Structure 1
Amino acid sequence: MNELVSRIVELGDHERRAIIAIAGPPGSGKSFLSERTCNLLPPGSAQVVPMDGFHYDNAILDELGLRNRKGAPETFDFDGFETNLKRLRHDTNGVAVPVFDRPIDLSRASARLIRPETRYILVEGNYLLLGEAPWSGLRPLFDFSIFIDVPRAELELRLVKRWLDLGHSEASARAWVENNDLKNVDLVLASRQRPDFTWHFD
């Protein structure tokens, strides 16, 4: 952990703020690592921006026929996410970002304000290092990238537990993981760009 934090701190020597990508498949622990890293950086210097805030609303997914693939690349507002990253890079004012509320399964607009004085922005999401267009075009927006490497079998266990903890039955949780979540896991594992740093599951 110390090595990772030290490499991020070095980015703060530049005049502009540093944007760090924390990528990995569903269930890999991106939110946990982002928050932990944020807390280890100088106090008040870092904030987390979750890509999940850019999920399309369920009503839009129903309209597009994509509700059963929620979490796949095509179920995110990519253009909105990319525009937000560019604002975070260049806007010296505060930037409001949406945050996904998993228990109610909806994004809350402008739920987090990224302060002008923030030096390190930790962006976390499944597809930040995906090697397929249009996602592959995000790479130049990141100063440093991290990929969380977790065995597929462990990811499956975590994902089933996630849905069980949210009140789903065992049959429902396993069906969703097998028919949706693991497809997204396999996509991320099969098509990813090389990160600057790999965090191995221990």
Structure 2
Amino acid sequence: MTSSGDTSLTVADEILAAVTDLVGDRRVVLGVAGTPGAGKTTFAQLLVQRLCDLRGPGWAAHLPMDGFHIGDRQLARLGFLDRKGAPDTFDADGYAATLGRVRTATGPVFVPGFDRALEQPIAADMVVPAEARLVVTEGNYLLLQEGRWVAARAQLDEVWYVAGDDRVRLERLVSRHVEFGKTPAQAREWVANVDQPNAQRIAAAAERADRVVRNDGAGFGW
């Protein structure tokens, strides 16, 4: 399952107000994009937590794109295992369909999660409760104008882009890969050969974001 965010971080009041203003008489789905290690998951989890604290349990829900990783068995069959995390190693069609279902559902929707220890998606591991007014989904490729990702973007009311210090981001990525089983050398090689090429594609699409959220290491703000 996705690890919880650092609750010592803060979300600026202006961000909380902007999110609340998005929600009208129907459920809103907010996308959060950004490069690997930028803090997307931490921001999404923290935002949902703060909104639920303010508006009540279940008012906001988290739907991470990580649950739509294609499993390793299929990646190996396709020859994609050595670049897991690239755009075509996700079930983008399934993700878009799930977002569409979440937009209109009147009951709970069970969605896949991702187990970082196993590095595998887990079916029906998370739930978007019926009472959720805002659903926050985060992933790298929400702003790409490529094939199936356009269909996913069409299900989002807005997409925000999380940006921060690139040096810190790279250090965070290496540490994450080491935490989940790679040696430091393997982690640095993976970041250089897989994460960074993906990051360049993501950063090139940042201008399409509706808003940019800054991660300064202590909190998130405009």
> Relative to structure 2, which stretch is displaced further, 175-184 or 129-138?
129-138
- Give 1:83's aligned residue: 97
Give how far 1:196 is off.
1.8
Aligned alpha-carbon RMSD (Å): 1.3
Q: Is it true that 1:123 corresponds to 2:147 in the alignment?
A: no
- Deviating beyond 6 angstroms after TM superposition, the runs of 4 or more aligned structure 1 residues are none
Alignment correspondent of 1:191: 205
Q: Compute the displacement of 1:193 (Å).
A: 4.8
Contact 1:94 1:114 in 2 (8 A): yes
How many pairs does the alignment contain?
201
* Residue aligning to 2:18: 7
Query: Percentage identity across aligned positions?
Result: 36
Tell me what 2:182 maps to: 168
Structure 2 stretches lacking a partner, 5+ long: 1-11, 217-222
Q: Deviations along 1:22-76, whole A, 9 cap, x unmatched? A: 1111101111101111111122200100000000000000000000110000000
Secondary structure of 2:159's partner?
Answer: strand
Supply the distance in 2 between the matched residues of 1:127 and 1:48 (Cα, whole angstroms): 17
CA positional deviation for 1:17: 0.4
User: Is residue 93–residue 148 contact of structure 2 (8 Å, CA) maintained in 1?
Assistant: no
Q: What is the alpha-carbon distance in structure 1 between the residues aligned to residue 76 and residue 153 of structure 2?
A: 30
- The 2-side partners of 1:48 and 1:115 are apart by 10
Matches of 1:106 and 1:124 in 2, distance apart? 17
Give yes or no for contact 1:30–1:148 (8 Å, CA) kept in 2. Answer: yes
Q: Which of 30, 35, 38 is the equivalent residue of 2:40?
A: 30
Q: Deviations over 1:180-200 (max 9, x none)?
A: 111111110123452222111
Structure 2 distance, partners of 1:51, 1:3, is 25
The normalised TM-score by structure 2 is 0.86
